[in-house]
């Protein structure tokens, strides 16, 4: 027979044991939550600063080299909450603000950001629904792992570029097959560059990170558990909301055929290069009938987020470019000159008509006559 004081002692031990256990569980949960928060903040900073440095500061080794796609993948893989898809969205918004890109709803050009943002959200959602299989693929560091990483880089970029090119077509051009083919043709070189970026970043960043965490999963507590279907609903709703926004408001306006003109040739865009002091901007723009060198420059500035200052001189019925991207004419004897198909043109930029297939170069330089 157990004496009352022994029963109390056993009860006390039992209470103490469970209290310690609950405290340990709470400490573990707090530790995991802190790790998840640090991971989320780290990925957002990496995506924001990485895109700003590569694109905003012109460090990218080739056009469309970016890190947001691999950040999107890592966010879903490493963060337990399905709301991890806000990581690429915040990274895009933050880097766009730093770069100076227009991100608010307005004209057709500005609304393309809804397609770019929702594109990354769609990729994140695909990752979310294939999370377990992807973890298994990165379980060991082997040749197959590098192949998987390269395949993900190409596949995600291809899907993303198809979606955003569809956005350009829907927002900016007539809704016909000719316009659609022209948009995809003009964007093909950048799609190839983007796929190379996907392969490089997934192999150089995703493989080492995933391998390290898989090897240390017993101590880092970063590998997420299987996400229940019900917990994926908020992510699905966010993505659907962004997709719906893409096709509402000013986006519903269908451009008329008279607003766009395609030259009957294999070259369906204007290649524009702007060379300033220690910076270069490259782009391809589809010319609208009646476009001039000046109007192409204005569209390029809207798309890439740089400033233009110009003055119209009535006596010459012509516009002079004073500055581009804060490089002001007259500094160290340099002025803005433009070349069409390699030839220096001596008429105002707003008087020189340009067509698809032409090459346009703006150069901040000492005029040849000096």
Q: What is the 3-state secondary structure (H, E, C) of the chain?
A: CCCHHHHHHHHHHHHHHHHHHHHHHHHHHHHHHHHHHHHHHHHHHHHHHHHHHHHHCCCCCCCCCCCHHHHHHHHHHHCCCHHHHHHHHHHHHHHHHHHCCCCCCCCCCCCHHHHHHHHHHHHHHHHHHCHHHHHHHCCCCCHHHHHHHHHHHHHHHHHHHHHHHHHHHHHHCCCCHHHHHHHHHHHHHHHHHHHHHHHHHHHHHHHHHHHHHHHCHHHHCCCCCCCCHHHHHHHHHHHHHHHHHHCCHHHHCCCCHHHCCCCCCCCCCEEEEEEECCEEEEEEECCCCCCEHHHHHHHHHHHHCCCEEEEEECCCCEEEEEEECCEECCHHHCEEEEEECCEECCCCCCCCECCCCCEEEEEEECCCCC
Per-residue model confidence (pLDDT) at position 242:
87
Identify whether residues 215 and 317 lie together within a single domain.
no
For residue 201, tell me if it sits in a domain.
yes
Identify whether residues 139 and 266 lie together within a single domain.
no
pLDDT tier, 135 (very low <50, low <70, confident <90, very high otherwise): confident
For residue 246, tell me if it sits in a domain.
yes
End residue of a domain, out of 198, 221, 252: 252
Distance CA 39, CA 43 (A): 6
Q: Which residue range(s) make up the domain with 290?
A: 261-365
- CA 290 → CA 13, 298, 343, distances in Å? 87, 14, 20
Identify whether residues 86 and 114 lie together within a single domain.
yes
pLDDT tier, 20 (very low <50, low <70, confident <90, very high otherwise): low
End residue of a domain, out of 252, 277, 300: 252
Distance CA 120, CA 131 (A): 16
Structural domain tally of the chain?
2
pLDDT for residue 294 is more than 90 = yes
For residue 221, tell me if it sits in a domain.
yes
Distance CA 35, CA 221 (A): 8
Distance CA 321, CA 183 (A): 29
Identify whether residues 144 and 240 lie together within a single domain.
yes
Most confident of the ranges 29-43, 151-165, 176-190, 239-253? 151-165
Identify whether residues 330 and 247 lie together within a single domain.
no
Identify whether residues 223 and 282 lie together within a single domain.
no
pLDDT for residue 219 is more than 50 = no
For residue 235, tell me if it sits in a domain.
yes
For residue 370, tell me if it sits in a domain.
no
Identify whether residues 29 and 109 lie together within a single domain.
yes
Q: Give the pLDDT confidence of 3-17 residue by residue, as tens digits.
A: 555 555 555 555 555
Distance CA 352, CA 295 (A): 10
Identify whether residues 56 and 34 lie together within a single domain.
yes
Segment among 213-222, 281-290, 320-329 with least mean pLDDT: 213-222
Identify whether residues 45 and 118 lie together within a single domain.
yes
End residue of a domain, out of 209, 233, 252: 252
pLDDT tier, 36 (very low <50, low <70, confident <90, very high otherwise): confident
Identify whether residues 105 and 234 lie together within a single domain.
yes
CATH of the domain at 310: 2.170.130.30
Identify whether residues 290 and 320 lie together within a single domain.
yes
Q: What token pair was written down for 284?
A: 């391809």
Compute the average pLDDT of residues 61-69.
89
pLDDT for residue 365 is more than 60 = yes
Distance CA 51, CA 67 (A): 6
Compute the average pLDDT of residues 298-314.
87
Identify whether residues 160 and 273 lie together within a single domain.
no
Q: How many C-beta atoms lie closer than 10 Å to residue 97's C-beta? A: 12
Compute the average pLDDT of residues 313-336.
88
Q: Is pLDDT larger for residue 368 or for residue 43? A: 43
For residue 73, tell me if it sits in a domain.
yes
For residue 32, tell me if it sits in a domain.
yes
Burial of 27: CB neighbours in 10 Å, binned 0-12, 13-18, 19+: exposed
For residue 321, tell me if it sits in a domain.
yes
């Amino acid at each position: 027979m157990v004496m009352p004081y022994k029963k109390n002692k056993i009860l006390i031990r039992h209470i103490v044991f469970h209290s310690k256990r609950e405290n340990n569980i709470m400490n573990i949960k707090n530790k995991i939550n802190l790790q998840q928060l640090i991971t989320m903040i780290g990925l957002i900073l990496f995506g924001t600063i990485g895109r700003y440095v590569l694109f905003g500061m012109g460090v990218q080794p080739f056009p469309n080299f970016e890190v947001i796609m691999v950040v999107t993948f890592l966010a879903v893989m490493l963060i337990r909450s399905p709301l991890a898809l806000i990581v690429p969205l915040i990274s895009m918004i933050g880097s766009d603000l730093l770069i100076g890109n227009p991100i608010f709803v307005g004209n057709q050009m500005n609304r393309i950001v809804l397609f770019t943002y929702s594109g990354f959200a769609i990729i994140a959602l695909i990752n979310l629904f294939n999370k377990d299989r992807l973890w298994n693929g990165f379980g060991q560091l082997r040749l197959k792992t590098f192949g998987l990483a390269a395949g993900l880089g190409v596949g995600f970029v291809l899907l993303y570029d198809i979606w955003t090119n569809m956005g350009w077509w829907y927002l900016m051009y007539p809704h016909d097959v000719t316009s659609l083919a022209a948009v995809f043709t003009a964007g093909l070189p950048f799609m190839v560059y983007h796929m190379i970026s996907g392969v490089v970043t997934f192999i150089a960043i995703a493989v080492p990170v995933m391998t390290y965490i898989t090897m240390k999963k017993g101590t880092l507590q970063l590998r997420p558990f299987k996400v229940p279907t019900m917990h994926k609903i908020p992510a699905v709703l966010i993505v659907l909301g962004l997709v719906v926004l893409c096709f509402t408001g000013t986006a519903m306006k269908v451009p008329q055929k008279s607003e766009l003109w395609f030259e009957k040739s294999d070259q369906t865009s204007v290649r524009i290069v702007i060379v300033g002091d220690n910076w270069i901007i490259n782009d391809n723009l589809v010319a609208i009938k009646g476009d001039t060198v000046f109007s192409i420059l204005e569209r390029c500035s809207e798309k890439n987020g740089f400033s233009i200052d110009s003055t119209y001189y009535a006596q010459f019925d012509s516009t002079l470019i004073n500055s581009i991207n804060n490089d002001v004419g007259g500094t160290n004897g340099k002025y803005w000159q433009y070349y069409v198909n390699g030839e220096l043109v001596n008429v105002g930029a707003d008087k020189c008509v340009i067509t698809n297939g032409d090459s346009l170069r703006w150069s901040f330089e000492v005029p040849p006559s000096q």
